[in-house]
Amino acid sequence: MTQDAVPERVDAVVIGAGALGASTAFHLAKAGLSVALLDKAELASQTSPRAAGLSGQLRSHEAMTRIAARSVRKIETFQADTGEELIFFQPGSLKIARRPEHEAQLHEEVARGQGLGLDVAMISPEEARRLMPYLCTEGVLAVMHMRTDVYLEPVQIPAGYARACGRLGGTLLPNTPVEEIVTEGGAVSGVRTSRGEIRARVVVDAAGAWLRVVASLGGSSVKLVPTRHQLMITVPLPEVRTNQPITRIIDANVYVRPEKGGLMLGGYEPDPVQYDMRSLPADFGIENLELDLSVLRRLAENVAVQFPIFRDVALQEHRGGLPTMTADGEHVLGPAPGLNGLYVIGGCCVGGLSTAPALGELLAEWIVQGRPSMDLSFMAPDRLATGLPETELRDLCKLQYAHHYWSPETMPAPV
């Protein structure tokens, strides 16, 4: 995307053109605000395009389930809403229990999902294998089928929203790092960038792994932990079809889906690598992230009974990025503590690509109308979980990451 001239003044500056920032910028522009969308790198180039692109609508509580389901509806209507093409597949998803406590978890989730009007049911292991032929059913205790989950090529969301924002008159500024959030009398008055200053009374920090660093440029503190997450894609396999469902194995925290004619596998290891962006060089980009295939090989081994295909198959792709974890597993969204006019959106806990359509819309509602259309207090940027001492924060973030598919009831207590 081309770089526009730096405007002198706009209604809102959005820092970070990943899925969350681009969605917020689009929804602000759609509401009639003049918007500048800035990124220190190319637009849509950092963690978002490296995601697996899965939706998971059934979450651990009602509010987040409603947000995830609203996002899927916005993916279905993306083209009509934005004028941008978006190719997605809707084969649904399978969630597999191999332990009794996870079998109970699935029954609880199905009851809760049906209560919220979602198209979800238990199916037999044999039916699951019919839908996903590479799945072996030995040891499978129970399977949940969520019929409307989607998957897609992830870059489409940030790039589509950024282009649509530009068409609505938004200023697109790739390769324009924000170096300072300028304040006057305890409120935001603009940003200083490498290419000049922009005056604005609203600034959105959607800087992904750098969210905490950017918030501190305005003297605000929001603590979350960038955590490396990786996936791999096999070479094309004869029985893979695009209509095969996303398959998640709860105890192993592993997901599998069709991609590029092969199978994608990603997952959540027990001891992930956590980052402090303040200790990395200023020009660090996600393309410089050190990856480690042995992590994925171990995860594949943990699901070898269900997916023996991963044992000795060649790969066509291995990628990874830095989603951000929070100590309680919830996003952060809303006014930043300590500075009027600064808002944050992040803390995605490896789910910010698929939820970005609704989250960006909700934050835009908050900025434009003074409050969002639903209660988002569980995401408050100034809640206890985002202000914890560093060691406790990192330990809790690791615990959340390592039990990504486990319900709060089945997760071990923090030590």
Ligand X SMILES: Cc1cc2nc3c(=O)[nH]c(=O)nc-3n(C[C@H](O)[C@H](O)[C@H](O)COP(=O)(O)OP(=O)(O)OC[C@H]3O[C@@H](n4cnc5c(N)ncnc54)[C@H](O)[C@@H]3O)c2cc1C
Cα separation, 197 vs 125, in Å, equals 59
Nearer to ligand X, 125 or 343 (CB): 343
> Closest approach of Cβ 104 to ligand X, in Å?
25
> Closest approach of Cβ 49 to ligand X, in Å?
7
194-196-200 Cα angle (round to 5): 115
> Closest approach of Cβ 287 to ligand X, in Å?
11
Nearer to ligand X, 14 or 106 (CB): 14
Nearer to ligand X, 218 or 321 (CB): 321
Cα separation, 86 vs 391, in Å, equals 41
Nearer to ligand X, 46 or 125 (CB): 46
> Closest approach of Cβ 259 to ligand X, in Å?
11
Structure tokens at 280: 């990395």
Contact residues: ligand X, CB under 6 A: 15-21, 38-41, 45-48, 50-54, 177-178, 206-210, 214, 229-231, 266, 320-321, 323, 346, 348, 350-355
> Closest approach of Cβ 318 to ligand X, in Å?
10
Nearer to ligand X, 18 or 381 (CB): 18
Q: Give the nearest residue (CB) to ligand X.
A: 18
Structure tokens at 334: 């809303």
On whether the CB atoms of residues 21 and 211 are closer than 8 A, the answer is no
Nearer to ligand X, 125 or 335 (CB): 335
> Closest approach of Cβ 100 to ligand X, in Å?
27
